[in-house]
Chains A and B, each alone.
Chain A
Amino acid sequence: MSSRRKKCKRQILKFGQNVVRFITGTLSSDTAAEEQEQAAQRHRPETIDCLLAQTHFTKRELQILYRGFKNECPNGLVNEDTFKNIYGHFFPHGDSSNYAHFLFRAFDRNQTGFVNFEDFSLGLSALLRGPVEEKLTWVFNLYDINNDGCITKEEMLDIMKAIYDMMGTSLNPRLSEDTARQHTEIFFQKMDKNQNGVITIDEFIECCQKEENIVKSMYIFENAI
């Protein structure tokens, strides 16, 4: 009851303010202050030497990487919407926003809501230049949505659905209701050794390293940069 009254009071106050502004002719000057706040966010990354130490890239590669990054995001930060937008350009057939969301979460280590250059370069370094374990760890973090150290079937199903969403609907053979679920089942069969319904990181890494295909496929994007 009191919260409702408070709300009412606040609204009446706002209305009174608006009337005063209406009379004095300053009704539209409110938005200017808001705009200033938004634009102020910037981020400057750590020095290049620091990043050199943390990542597996060479100085040259880091330079190229940063130049591209800064060109696209002049204020040094990527927010999720931009991320989804960019990722969507590469997959025009379907809806890639879900997978992009998971990816964003995987890159944004501190869960700040923004990906800055350190996150970006560290993630790419792990993916492109790191040893197999590092890559697999990164992938595990991607699959583990709630960061509790193990992948449940529901999490895997979400990821699978997101991947299939990217494909779109007009596929051959046709997509059925169960495709994602079946695929998840197969995956779990493969990965879950002790059949306890979850996949831990050790199980994951061990299984993947045994699979010849998976190991080989980890290296195909070596020359992306």
Chain B
Amino acid sequence: MAAGVAAWLPFARAAAIGWMPVANCPMPIAPRDHSKRKDELIILNVSGRRFQTWRTTLDRYPDTLLGSSEKEFFYNEEAKEYFFDRDPDAFRSVLNFYRTGKLHYPRYECISAYDEELAFFGIIPEIIGDCCYEEYKDRKRENAERLMDDQEENKDCKMPNMTFRETMWRAFENPHTSTMALVFYYVTGFFIAISVITNVVETVPCGYKSQKDVPCGERYTVAFFCMDTACVMIFTVEYLLRLFAAPSRYRFMRSVMSIIDVVAILPYYIGLVMTDNEDVSGAFVTLRVFRVFRIFKFSRHSQGLRILGYTLKSCASELGFLLFSLTMAIIIFATVMFYAEKGSSSSKFTSIPASFWYTIVTMTTLGYGDMVPKTIAGKIFGSICSLSGVLVIALPVPVIVSNFSRIYHQNQRADKRRAQKKARLARIRIAKKGSSTAYLQTKRNGLLNELLDLTASEVEQQHLNKTSSLLESQHHHLLHCLEKTTGHEFVDEQLFEQNCLEGALQPYRSHSRTPSGSSQDGRTGTCCSRRSKRGSTPTPVPNASLPALHTQPHMLTHTLPQSPGLQELSAINIQCAEQQLHSSSRSNLNMQTNEVDRRNTRQQLQQVTTAIISVQTPGTGSSTEEDDDSHGLPNPGASVVTTASSNIVRVSAL
């Protein structure tokens, strides 16, 4: 039921007593109002600003937050008020809705903020009053367009595995994606320009031949023909390539640009096919006119042209109206002028269609003067005609102009947004990186923290507690739980990639392996293969186990990499190994190495960000860390995580 109507219900019920005497049957019992709440003032505290209203005002709309028992969740016992932590300015409109029954949309409010407020208070935006509904819908549409634009741009991002055809299509549609595409774009543009200029220059008279002005086209036939052929060849190749690359060939062939392309190159081929037959040469000459359509190919190169075309399309109704009203006026005035000038002798107004020309020329204020009225009546009507022409033409023009301006500005905004997007993405990435760095940093410190808990060092603990807020520490705990759940650890992404590329490790393979060090499994991928090549030292037994480690300390042995995931593990290990290689070019594992290794471990872990290393779950064996001779791979159940942590514990204990 509508708003204010609810307030009249008691009246309607009272008036129902009028039916009672007429009734034949006894009446049903009236519902009792159990919650015998007297009308009281409710205080609504919205972010400090207190609003007060009667309880019954809010009860008018029982399906909203304030009208139902949902508001009891926000009741503050001590202050005996309802507290909402929302924007007080937006709340004004919400409360006014209860009071007056009409929801208004304040113009200064951001549309999405307003929508959120409405959603929070359980009010559907459709009941916005007529006075504000248009504005609301317009703003909402604008916002939706903006968001849609953003999403479309996101889709443009490079997808990892695109076929050759898809790449080519993308190159055609967005020339700025690759250099080749850009080159192609400019070359085609250049040839379009050449072709158009050629067409134009062809008709310029240059030189005489047998007392007659001869256009350049006839004088230098061969040159022009060659130029034309070259251009058409380029256009044909371009069209065929586009046709090949198009995701939906049928749709491409139906599109406007493709039709323009075809129309641009067809006359040439038709001309080739037709010989110098006198009969058809007239038709052939007409066909040459279509060559001018090549200029429309420029619309792929110029955004302004596209906008113009789009504007004209969107203003089709205004243009139609303009045309229709002009036609009406032309017919009216032509008829009037014809009959007015009928009397005068030697009048040029021989028929009504002949007067059309006069009317058009006059209404558009051209006034060639080839036809002028001579009678007085003709002159009077002629002047009325020209005055009204100005009016009729001037009316739809502002509409078209405003449409053009709106579309143009929208395009500008889109371009700006695209430029800003890169900066925005970079900022977002930095923020994300920051948070993940923080986690891994805390992990290291956190582990230290656990240790400190054991050693009960008060001062250090306090210091560590200060550095991370409760929110942060809870977040880090959550990530830690995730690590423990999956059995994998977060690792520095940068180093992960770097080591993937550099790779100094022997390959590991799946259990269907051959002992040769250089043979690669498809699964290991390029990174490991490169790694393997670099890291091939004497007798790299692929699935070397523990003892091998001792002999080849700078190589990590991986056992039973049954999943490609293990190669990622090798990455982390590689990174550790890399450092080691750089720092110590030892080949033997000894105590000193161990120490250095440990130190290096510490160093490396300082640079971690996020990448996931997949540690082999227990049962499939585990790979080794650098300093492992002490506790290398004691049991399959040991995951690297524990070894790592135990390593680190070791380190700190030192």
By a beta-carbon cutoff of 8 Å, the part of chain A in contact with chain B is 60, 64, 67-68, 71-72, 86-87, 89-90, 103, 106, 120, 123-124, 127-128, 135-136, 138-139, 142-143, 159-160, 163, 183, 186-187, 191, 204, 208, 213-214, 216-218, 220-225
B226 contacts the other chain (CB 8 A): no
- CB-CB contacts of B388-399 with A at 8 A, as 1s and 0s? 000000000000
Partner of B4 from the list A72, A124, A183 (CB cut-off 8 Å) is A72
Residues of B contacting A220 with CB < 8 Å? 27, 29-30
Contact status B20-A218, CB under 8 Å: yes
Contact status B24-A186, CB under 8 Å: yes
Contact status B33-A223, CB under 8 Å: yes
Residues of B contacting A191 with CB < 8 Å? 21
Q: Other than the known A72-B4, A159-B22, what 15 A-B pairs have Cβ atoms closer than 8 Å?
A: A64-B39, A90-B5, A124-B10, A124-B11, A139-B20, A187-B21, A187-B22, A213-B23, A214-B20, A214-B21, A217-B17, A220-B30, A221-B17, A221-B30, A223-B30
Cα of A187 to Cα of B25 in the assembled complex, Å: 12
Cα of A222 to Cα of B32 in the assembled complex, Å: 10
Contact status B24-A224, CB under 8 Å: no
Chain B binding site: helix, strand, loop or mixed by DSSP?
helix
List 8 contacting pairs A-B, 8 Å CB cutoff, sorted by A.
A86-B5, A103-B15, A106-B18, A183-B22, A208-B21, A213-B25, A218-B20, A221-B13
| Residue ID in chain B nearest A102 by CB atoms | B18
Contact status A160-B22, CB under 8 Å: yes
Residues of B contacting A64 with CB < 8 Å? 39, 56
| Residue ID in chain A nearest B28 by CB atoms | A220
Cα of A156 to Cα of B17 in the assembled complex, Å: 16
| Residue ID in chain A nearest B100 by CB atoms | A71
In the complex, chain B residues 73-102 whose Cβ is within 8 Å of any chain A Cβ: 99-100
Partner of A139 from the list B5, B18, B24 (CB cut-off 8 Å) is B18
Contact status A89-B1, CB under 8 Å: yes
Residues of A contacting B2 with CB < 8 Å? 89
Contact status A139-B15, CB under 8 Å: no
| Residue ID in chain A nearest B2 by CB atoms | A89
Contact status A223-B32, CB under 8 Å: yes
Cα of A106 to Cα of B13 in the assembled complex, Å: 15
CB distance from A218 to the nearest CB of B (A): 6
Contact status A89-B5, CB under 8 Å: yes
Cα of A160 to Cα of B24 in the assembled complex, Å: 13
Given contacts A186-B24, A218-B20, A223-B33, contact A124 B5 (CB under 8 A): no
Cα of A71 to Cα of B60 in the assembled complex, Å: 13
Contact status A217-B4, CB under 8 Å: no
- CB-CB contacts of B96-129 with A at 8 A, as 1s and 0s? 0001100000000000000000000000000000
CB distance from A88 to the nearest CB of B (A): 9
Contact status B5-A103, CB under 8 Å: no
Contact status B26-A163, CB under 8 Å: no
B454 contacts the other chain (CB 8 A): no
Cα of A143 to Cα of B38 in the assembled complex, Å: 35
Contact status A142-B32, CB under 8 Å: no
Residues of B contacting A225 with CB < 8 Å? 10, 14
CB distance from A185 to the nearest CB of B (A): 12
Q: How large is the interface on B (under 10, 10 to 19, 20 to 34, 35 or more residues)?
A: 35 or more
Contact status B26-A142, CB under 8 Å: no
What are the 3 A-B residue pairs with the smallest beta carbon separation, nearest first?
A: A127-B14, A224-B10, A217-B27
Cα of A136 to Cα of B18 in the assembled complex, Å: 9
Contact status A217-B23, CB under 8 Å: yes
B220 contacts the other chain (CB 8 A): no
Cα of A218 to Cα of B30 in the assembled complex, Å: 12
Cα of A213 to Cα of B39 in the assembled complex, Å: 33
Residues of B contacting A136 with CB < 8 Å? 21
Partner of B9 from the list A90, A128, A135 (CB cut-off 8 Å) is A90
Contact status B11-A163, CB under 8 Å: no
Given contacts A68-B7, A213-B26, contact A224 B14 (CB under 8 A): yes
Residues of A contacting B13 with CB < 8 Å? 221, 224
Contact status A217-B20, CB under 8 Å: yes
B19 contacts the other chain (CB 8 A): yes
Cα of A27 to Cα of B597 in the assembled complex, Å: 97
CB distance from A66 to the nearest CB of B (A): 12
CB distance from B333 to the nearest CB of A (A): 23
Residues of B contacting A223 with CB < 8 Å? 30, 32-33
Residues of A contacting B10 with CB < 8 Å? 124, 224-225
Contact status B8-A72, CB under 8 Å: yes
| Residue ID in chain A nearest B5 by CB atoms | A89
Contact status A90-B14, CB under 8 Å: no
Partner of B15 from the list A71, A127, A214, A217 (CB cut-off 8 Å) is A127
Cα of A186 to Cα of B54 in the assembled complex, Å: 47
CB distance from A79 to the nearest CB of B (A): 14
CB distance from B271 to the nearest CB of A (A): 64
Residues of A contacting B478 with CB < 8 Å? none
CB distance from A142 to the nearest CB of B (A): 5
B16 contacts the other chain (CB 8 A): yes
Partner of B14 from the list A87, A124, A187 (CB cut-off 8 Å) is A124
| Residue ID in chain B nearest A65 by CB atoms | B10
Partner of B17 from the list A90, A135, A160 (CB cut-off 8 Å) is A135
B12 contacts the other chain (CB 8 A): yes
| Residue ID in chain A nearest B11 by CB atoms | A124
Contact status B39-A87, CB under 8 Å: no
Cα of A183 to Cα of B24 in the assembled complex, Å: 9
Contact status A139-B21, CB under 8 Å: yes
Contact status B4-A90, CB under 8 Å: no
